Amino acid sequence: MKYRIHPVLLPIFLFFMIVGGVSLYAMLLFSLLFHELGHVLAARHVGMKIRSCTILPYGGELQFVNRQLASKQQRLIVALGGPVATAVLLVLGMCLTFPGDAQFIKIQLILLSVNLLPILPLDGGQVVSVLLETEATKYTTRSNFLLYSIIVSASLCAYLIVYLPDSLPLVIITSFLAVQNIISYRFRRYERVFEQLTKKETSFF
């Protein structure tokens, strides 16, 4: 499995280093890595093979081997793995006393709140998508949910721009989400064809 940090994280890390110092930067990076570890452990628990892991501002993105063959239960467990890991850090931060604990708790609250938003590709959106999809309406449901996610993420970005420069990290995150959803929407037909071909090959063997 390959690991990498997405370049969009650099301006966010730079912002936190300027306003909060190295300790805040270290806590943010640790929190993101631990969040993604939750997804990785959940994936291994349900038997899903991971091709690569990319650390993003809101957590991370896992590329799976034959993800389209995973069951709804497998996808649901993997999607919840990250928020559960972040919730564990949040509880520990509240129960233990250490230097910077207030900042640590704030980071977990923000990370958890953002990730549970019901828009793609966030964990909350993945959970809602899995629950809404059926085998017969999977393509239509995901297409409509992508459109909804584009509108919501773009609207949030426009709203947060008013509060710059304090809202810079959130503006970067929401704009990044909007772009990701637009790309996914444009390529959704190709993904559907690839999924159908993969299922046919699996059935043949």
CA distance linking residue 203 with residue 205, whole number of Å:
6
> CA-to-CA distance for 23 and 128, rounded, in angstroms?
35
Distance, in Å, from the CA atom of 120 to the CA atom of 142, rounded to the nearest integer, reads 10
Give me the domain span that covers residue 90.
2-204
Question: What's the rounded mean pLDDT across residues 153-181?
Answer: 90
98: enclosing H helix or E strand = none
- Give the whole-angstrom CA distance, residue 194 versus residue 191: 5
Q: Which residues are catalytic?
A: 36
Provide the pLDDT for residue 124.
94
Q: Give me the pLDDT at residue 7, please.
A: 75
Report the chain's mean pLDDT, rounded to a whole number.
Answer: 84
pLDDT digits (tens, 9 = 90+) for 29-77: 889 889 989 999 999 999 988 888 887 766 667 788 776 678 889 999 9
Smallest CA-to-CA distance from 105 within 119, 81, 89 is with 89
> Could you report the per-residue pLDDT of 101-150, keeping only the tens digit for each?
898 999 999 999 989 999 998 999 999 999 998 877 888 888 999 999 99
Percent of the chain with pLDDT over 70: 83
pLDDT score, position 160: 94
Q: Is 67 helix (H, G, I), strand (E, B) or coil?
A: helix
pLDDT band at 82 (very low <50, low <70, confident <90, very high): very high
Structural domains counted in the chain: 1
Q: Is the pLDDT reported for residue 203 higher than 50?
A: no
Q: Is the pLDDT of residue 25 over 80?
A: no
Q: Does the pLDDT at position 15 exceed 60?
A: yes
State both tokens at 204: 């043949």
pLDDT at 145: 93
pTM of the model: 0.80
- The conformation of residue 48, written as its DSSP 8-state character, comes to P
Q: Is the pLDDT assigned to residue 79 strictly greater than 60? A: yes
Instruction: Please tell me the predicted confidence (pLDDT) of residue 189.
Output: 75
At residue 202, the pLDDT reads 43
Which residue(s) pair with 61 in the sheet?
54
> What pLDDT, on the 0 to 100 scale, is given for residue 133?
84
